[in-house]
Amino acid sequence: MRGTELEWMTPVSCRKAVATYLEAAEDIEAASEQLGHSSSRITSRFYVPPKIDRSDFSSRLDALGGGAQAS
């Protein structure tokens, strides 16, 4: 894809994007099957980013600043 806006894309990055999308839209088994892996553990370990807890800690952070909001 040289000379295009997708020049950065490699076969591995494409496979990771497909795996990540399918895991979110369906499940890890669908992603694993699409990539042809014998085990979903392979897909989870190498192709799908780990789920990160994105808890909302804003109330705790507000308490540090005395509850005042930045202007």
The pLDDT score that the predictor gives to residue 20 is: 95
pTM over 0.75: no
Residues in the chain: 71
Residue spans of the domains in the chain: they are 13-48
The pLDDT score that the predictor gives to residue 27 is: 95
In the predicted model, residues of the chain with pLDDT beneath 50 are: 71
Helices (H), the chain: 11-25, 28-35, 40-46, 58-64
